[in-house]
């Protein structure tokens, strides 16, 4: 009887998840394929799907099913798919019932309307064009935060991306991070590193596309399950474990696109390897944004900026971009790891990257608290960039308008990037304990020992466990910035030597 009811739950959640994924498809399409004038109607379509999803989640039928299945859940192993699906869905529903359907719909619509305006505003360096949309998004996020009983409003936003995480905890981790990074960056910035050949363009798009295929090869995607397309702001998503969509950038003036592809490949391979038994359920994705980001940063940086990786890959780079024929591997490796405070987050080096995040984390709290008005944002942005990174912001396009997130109404997301950095090295240290010759494998373009480890310990579980449970299971402890700082110190020290 319980099993039959569980079957009903599973069917309901699968249909719900189908709707979520169709909304995801509409989002992917908007950013990769949609003719620009389609935006207005697309905004309404997002609002509609969001409304249907909300109605399904908060429906009494689902609530009753979940209640009725409590004893069944308790009779099962905590780690089982079944118990996990019931447990996580109940938690999702308990959160969602606090949110009025109208608000969900308004958010979906505002976000879809703001996105194309942001694209245009960034292109034309016109913050004023974007301002009313950002004001609307901030207002809606404030309204959203007020739906929950939390210590501080930002907790409610953070919880969407990092369930269970508190703003206070992030503040503490970030303080330790900043204290560690500042002297490290100061020292590393003194090194004279010639990376001018990385801007020895043009780097033709077809060659970049081929390089992406080459570097993504060792990830081990199953055949016929993925594609990669160029967009304004790269992301990865999936509509099933065998329907993976990566996106990237192929700038022709500099050698950087491949790192975007390796980054998104890290997100993609996580979703690709969620257990098939979780297909078409709300557990079929990474458990949180920080865990997700730990994977993308691991593949982008710990693999993708390592000496070993390019000892395998650099000959291909030279074949595709003959203008780099006279560059030595060691110089290439040093150049792609150059520490230099700069304007653009997604182009930042491993060391300064987290300072970009800390700046955004603080500004988001200010916006939500109302202590900084949207109209004043460009000025405050530019001041803090000067203060934290010592760089002058020449225009808003390369300043406050650079990121897509706020156009999507996603506030509370940025911290997960820096947390991802932190977690990536916590996990990496554990991998190294088990795989002693990892570097040798990477040097042959062989990522199988790494991907097997991650599949078994992390990926296959999808969203069965909370981020805290997951981290505890994978690394045996909570958040800890020390491994990351240790790694950066070691790496930058070696490069300077």
> Closest approach of Cβ 102 to a copy of itself, in Å?
13
Query: Would you say 60 or 67 has its CB closer to a copy of itself?
Result: 60
| Annotated active-site residue in 82, 264, 293, 364 | 264
Active-site residue 264, yes or no? Answer: yes
**CA 358/CA 373 separation, integer angstroms:** 19
Query: Would you say 145 or 228 has its CB closer to a copy of itself?
Result: 228
Query: Would you say 37 or 196 has its CB closer to a copy of itself?
Result: 37
Long-range contacts of 75-78 (CB under 8 A, 24+ apart): 75/2
The label of the residue with tokens 């992301």 reads 235
Query: Would you say 264 or 396 has its CB closer to a copy of itself?
Result: 264
> Closest approach of Cβ 405 to a copy of itself, in Å?
24
Query: Would you say 15 or 94 has its CB closer to a copy of itself?
Result: 15
List residues binding a copy of itself (CB under 8 A).
14-15, 18-19, 21-23, 25-26, 29, 33-38, 40-42, 44-45, 48-49, 51-52, 222-227, 239-244, 279-280
Q: Which of 266, 262, 264 is nearest to 234 (CA)?
A: 264
Phi, psi of 162 (to 5 degrees): -135, 75
> Closest approach of Cβ 14 to a copy of itself, in Å?
7
> Closest approach of Cβ 244 to a copy of itself, in Å?
7
Per the CB < 8 A criterion, the answer to whether 49 and 245 are in contact is no
- Exposed/middle/buried for residue 310 (C-beta within 10 Å: 0-12, 13-18, 19+): buried
> Closest approach of Cβ 103 to a copy of itself, in Å?
17
> Closest approach of Cβ 470 to a copy of itself, in Å?
24
Query: Would you say 36 or 71 has its CB closer to a copy of itself?
Result: 36
* Chain mean position to CA 186: 27
> Closest approach of Cβ 38 to a copy of itself, in Å?
3
**CA 318/CA 444 separation, integer angstroms:** 17
Alpha helix positions (H), 247-288: 257-272
Per the CB < 8 A criterion, the answer to whether 114 and 407 are in contact is yes
* Chain mean position to CA 231: 16
Long-range contacts of 238-244 (CB under 8 A, 24+ apart): 238/24, 238/268, 238/271, 238/272, 238/285, 239/21, 239/22, 239/24, 239/25, 239/28, 240/21, 240/279, 240/280, 241/271, 241/272, 241/273, 241/274, 241/276, 241/279, 241/284, 242/272, 244/268, 244/271, 244/272
> Closest approach of Cβ 47 to a copy of itself, in Å?
8
355-378 residues labelled b (16+ CB within 10 A) or e (exposed): bbbbbbbbbbbbbbeeebebeebb
Cα three-residue angle 151-155-161, rounded to 5 degrees: 160
User: Helix, strand, or coil here: 230?
Assistant: strand
Query: Would you say 21 or 141 has its CB closer to a copy of itself?
Result: 21
Query: Would you say 119 or 298 has its CB closer to a copy of itself?
Result: 119
Query: What is the set of active-site residues?
Result: 264
């Amino acid at each position: 009887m319980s099993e039959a009811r569980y079957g009903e739950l599973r069917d309901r959640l699968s249909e719900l998840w189908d709707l979520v994924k169709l909304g995801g498809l509409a989002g992917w399409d908007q950013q990769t394929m949609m003719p620009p004038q389609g935006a207005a109607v697309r905004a309404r379509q997002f609002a509609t799907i969001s409304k249907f999803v909300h109605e399904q989640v908060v429906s009494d039928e689902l609530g009753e099913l979940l209640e009725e299945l409590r004893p069944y859940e308790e009779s099962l192993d905590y780690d089982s798919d079944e118990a996990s699906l019931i447990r996580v869905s109940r938690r999702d529903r308990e959160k969602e019932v606090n949110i009025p359907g109208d608000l969900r719909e308004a958010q979906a619509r505002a976000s879809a309307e703001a996105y194309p305006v942001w694209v245009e505003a960034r292109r034309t360096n016109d913050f004023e064009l974007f301002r009313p949309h950002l004001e609307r998004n901030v207002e809606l996020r404030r309204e959203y935060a007020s739906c929950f009983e939390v210590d501080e409003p930002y907790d409610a936003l953070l919880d969407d991306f990092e369930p269970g995480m508190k703003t206070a905890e992030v503040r503490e981790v970030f303080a330790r991070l900043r204290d560690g990074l500042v002297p490290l960056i100061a020292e590393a910035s003194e090194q004279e590193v010639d990376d001018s050949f990385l801007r020895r363009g043009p780097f033709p798009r077809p060659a970049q596309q081929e390089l992406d295929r080459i570097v993504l090869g060792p990830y081990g995607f199953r055949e016929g399950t993925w594609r990669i397309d160029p967009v304004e702001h790269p992301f990865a998503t999936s509509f099933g474990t065998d329907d993976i969509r990566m996106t990237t950038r192929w700038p022709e003036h500099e050698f950087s696109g491949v790192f975007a592809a390796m980054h998104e490949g890290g997100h993609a391979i996580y979703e690709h390897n969620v257990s098939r038994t979780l297909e078409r359920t709300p557990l079929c994705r990474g458990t949180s944004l920080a865990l997700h980001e730990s994977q993308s940063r691991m593949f982008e940086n710990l693999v993708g900026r390592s000496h070993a990786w390019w000892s395998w890959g650099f000959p291909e780079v030279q074949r595709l971009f003959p203008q780099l024929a006279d560059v030595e591997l060691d110089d290439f490796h040093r150049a792609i790891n150059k520490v230099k405070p700069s304007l653009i987050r997604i182009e930042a080096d491993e060391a300064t990257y987290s300072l970009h995040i800390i700046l955004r984390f603080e500004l988001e709290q200010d916006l939500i608290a109302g202590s900084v008005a949207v109209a004043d944002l460009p000025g405050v942005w530019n001041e803090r960039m000067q203060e934290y990174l010592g760089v002058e912001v020449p225009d808003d396009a390369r300043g406050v308008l650079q990121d897509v997130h706020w156009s999507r109404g996603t506030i509370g997301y940025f911290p997960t990037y820096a947390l991802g950095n932190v977690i990536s090295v916590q996990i990496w240290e554990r991998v190294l304990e088990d795989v002693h010759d990892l570097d040798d494998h990477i040097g042959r373009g062989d990522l199988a020992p790494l991907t097997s480890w991650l599949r078994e310990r992390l990926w296959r579980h999808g969203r069965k466990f909370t981020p805290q449970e997951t981290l505890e299971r994978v690394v045996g402890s909570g958040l800890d910035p020390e491994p990351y700082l240790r790694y950066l110190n070691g790496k930058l020290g070696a490069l300077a030597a």
